[in-house]
Chain A
């Protein structure tokens, strides 16, 4: 590869001629992600108040071990779970959506900037001289993203099932505010997941000739449509999934009442 013989000047950390408030955007991202990480970790550690009536919090779904009728395998914790650790069924599944978001192309770009200052913002000097990017360990691991995507797609169907279950009340089918919250959550998570770059690659991006298979072409176009809004859905769905847990939690604690619409 050609190189440049003349030494170029290296900017200091934060050095820039930009007069605008370039630090606001990464700061907002930093605060937004931090708030979500803190809340979701706290909620996952609780191990209780994750279900109320027909509602099940998305942080605990699918509920592998827990009370009837939500749990798949009955009461927990399972025998193989180390007894010295506090048990929460959320631990068994949260690594999937967590890993999916952590390795998402949009989030990667955003947190490299906001948390790692790599770069702090466009055309702003960086704090470190060394740089490996995603070419070597550890960040080369980000390439597992598609495997998380396969699992995340399955989660959309499970959450869809939860939203359906949230219409089953003791005295028959109905819709409450909680049903709407869980439905909206599934829709937003679906828009986020089906707009994933790896999904886009899978449905058609890997092919150079799409016109030969019209169904594939249509699917590729639809995914592309969600993909251009991927950042927006990443934020909306992040907010909505946190709020869904909060809603169910508040109802389970008796602080909020799940208002039945019909």
Chain B
């Protein structure tokens, strides 16, 4: 058992500051446990969002020592305790209060992506047949828990606030899951290039680094989508080749 100092952001949209708390940390604790302890013993009015405490609901996203992380999956023994541990809300979304941000922009973005449009059913009973080998790729993307940590760290949103021009890594993953689905027949490439702003991603891989589900966002979702956009819009030779095939 040891006493650790925490700097936790307290405030709302208009004002706020870091407040210092000290708490006893015991073996096996995660950051969310400490935040709950502080909430119970020292700051009853502290706002924090959480649900599953198992890294599956994506509610407890925050920034711990400057890096976007799930509070419930960040073990205390992975953090240096000789200096105060800084806990603050995600910076890429509007603050509601303390550690809670308004992530509803993400749900609006999702609505702009063309829905799944399956090919005609393979069997008379209206079902399809797919091979596991063909769903391996989209399955990786289905692991997403919509924690929006990747959106938070992406500099296009975080530093440049281009929310109205760029859907962010989470929704590039979502689009990739649909585009690479062997049953899907919809074409989302023009949207990706134009209003969804895939060209704004400069493949610096911070999204991949923070994803708690270890989805290889940049290499497996974004770059393959960029390549498909190149096929369609930036590859005259390839286009010619397709014409003669």
Which residues of A are at the interface with B, using a C-beta cutoff of 8 A?
1-4, 6, 8-11, 16-20, 105, 108-109, 112-113, 118-119, 122-123, 125-126, 129, 131-136, 139-140, 143-144, 146-147, 197-198, 200-201, 205-206, 208-211, 217, 227-228, 230
Contact = CB atoms under 8 A, between A and B. Distances in A.
Interface residues of B, number: 65
Interface string B158-170: 1111111101000
Nearest to B183: A208
A1 B167 contact: yes
A202 to B, nearest CB: 9
B197 A135 contact: yes
Contacts, number: 157
B245 interface: no
Contact of B199 (A9, A18, A133): A133
Contacts of B235: 143, 146
B65 interface: yes
Contacts of B196: 1
B54 interface: no
A16 B66 CA distance: 6
B19 interface: no
A211 B131 contact: yes
Contacts of B219: 197, 227-228, 230
Interface stretch (B25-33, B70-78, B104-112): B104-112
Contact of B155 (A6, A118, A135, A200): A118
B200 interface: yes
Nearest to A127: B159
A145 to B, nearest CB: 8
Contact of A19 (B13, B65, B184, B206): B65
A103 to B, nearest CB: 11
Contact of B218 (A4, A109, A131, A206): A109
Contacts of B134: 208-211
A123 B231 contact: no
B91 A11 contact: yes
B167 A17 contact: no
Interface in B155-202: 155-156, 158-165, 167, 179-182, 184, 195-197, 199-202
A105 B203 contact: yes
Interface string B203-244: 111100110000010110001101110110011011000000
A4 B93 contact: yes
Contact of B112 (A1, A144, A147, A228): A1
Nearest to A197: B223
B68 interface: yes
A119 B91 CA distance: 15
Contacts of A227: 219
A6 B181 contact: no
29 contacts: A1-B112, A2-B112, A2-B164, A3-B105, A4-B105, A4-B161, A8-B93, A9-B91, A109-B204, A118-B155, A119-B155, A119-B159, A119-B206, A123-B153, A123-B206, A126-B155, A129-B160, A131-B160, A133-B201, A134-B201, A134-B202, A135-B199, A143-B226, A146-B235, A147-B237, A197-B223, A208-B182, A210-B134, A211-B134
A18 B203 contact: no
A126 B182 contact: no
Given A122-B206, A146-B230, A211-B133, A2 B155 contact: no
A99 to B, nearest CB: 16
B237 A8 contact: no
B124 interface: no
B159 A208 contact: no
Given A18-B66, A135-B197, A208-B180, A2 B223 contact: no
Nearest to A130: B160
Interface in B105-123: 105, 108-109, 112
Given A19-B83, A143-B230, A113 B204 contact: yes
